[in-house]
Each structure stands twice: as structure tokens, then as C-alpha cells.
Amino acid sequence: MAEDEALYALAREVGQILRLQGRVLVLAESCTGGWVAQCITDVPGSSAWFDRGFVTYSNQAKYELLGVPSEIIQVYGAVSVETVRAMAAGALSHSAAGVAAAVSGIAGPTGGTPDKPVGTVWFAWQRGDGICRVKHMQFGGDRRQVRRQAVRVALQGILDVCRD
């Protein structure tokens, strides 16, 4: 499938830039459920530049595995800029990596609200030196299409934060 090849090509690029820069990646995924990590680990030799991935689908997992303060999720929700920033920071602090990517969203078909409709996804990319980027996207399509688009943006964001 052409879409999967495009994701694989992005993952290869991620590996190339991380290898060249001597950096290691960690992931904190919610709505993508480990799909970003799957793309990364499809690349031969990824163990040289990928440390680990946290699939923190539930709020409890975000608290326990990443150290996201419960107050952040209670006040802003799991799908928010504040939560993905905390997820990225937590992933870095719970790994030996120097680059983190975090994603949290509402893939649907249910779970949306007027303020956060289905297709709402927040991303954060953080480097160990403190550089952090965040992005909000509103995707269309069914659950799988929303998730695939989120994986693509997550991978592209890793490239972008490494190029900063």
C-alpha cells in the first residue's frame, strides 16, 4: 500500500537524521497505539537510534508510566497541548533518549465533543536540550485514517525538531 510505503520512507529518514546526529528517540503514544513505534521498528537497525515507546492509552498509564500530573489531565483533558508536553517530557525523563515525540488525540468514531471533535490530535516533540515544538491538527476520515495521518505528522515532526 502506497500510504504504508510513505510512512516507512519517513521512518527511514528519521533513522538517518538520528544516526547522523548521534541521537536516540523515545515515543509516548496514545491514540496511535504504538503505530509510530511500529513504523520506526520496521526500519532495519533501528535499535541503534530507538530506545523505547510508551503506549499510554489510558489516563492512568500517562500518570504511572510518564509521570503526567493528574491535575493536567483533570484541568485540560488528555487531548491537550499541556498533556502532550508533559508526555514528551515524561518520556525523556524515563528513558536514555535525547528526542521525544508524543501524540494524543480522538480517533473516533465516538469520544468527540464540540470543543474537541473527532479527529483532534495534539503532538509534542522535545529534545533533551529543551527545544520543544507542539502542533494541533484536525484530521478528517474514519478512525484508521485519523490514526494514519497522526503517525505521518508525528514522524515528520521528529525530522523537523531534529533539523531545528
Q: pTM of the prediction?
A: 0.97
CATH number (domain holding residue 10): 3.90.950.20
Q: How many domains does the chain have?
A: 1
Domain hosting 36: range is 2-163
Residues 6+ apart with CB under 8 A from 76: 82, 83
Residue with cell 533513522: 15
Task: Please say whether the beta carbons of 66 and 27 come within 8 A.
Answer: no
Cell triple for residue 137?
A: 491538527
Task: Please say whether the beta carbons of 72 and 51 come within 8 A.
Answer: no
- Provide the pLDDT for residue 3: 84
Q: What is the pLDDT of residues 67-114, one digit of tens each?
A: 999 999 999 999 999 999 999 999 999 999 999 999 999 999 999 999
The confidence band for 2, taking pLDDT boundaries of 50, 70 and 90, is: confident
Q: Hey, which residues does 127 pair with through a beta bridge?
A: 99
Q: What is the pLDDT of residues 41-72, one digit of tens each?
A: 999 999 999 999 999 999 999 999 999 999 99
Task: Please say whether the beta carbons of 81 and 120 come within 8 A.
Answer: no
Task: Please say whether the beta carbons of 14 and 25 come within 8 A.
Answer: yes
Cell triple for residue 70?
A: 493528574
Closest CA to 104 of 126, 115, 93, 88: 88
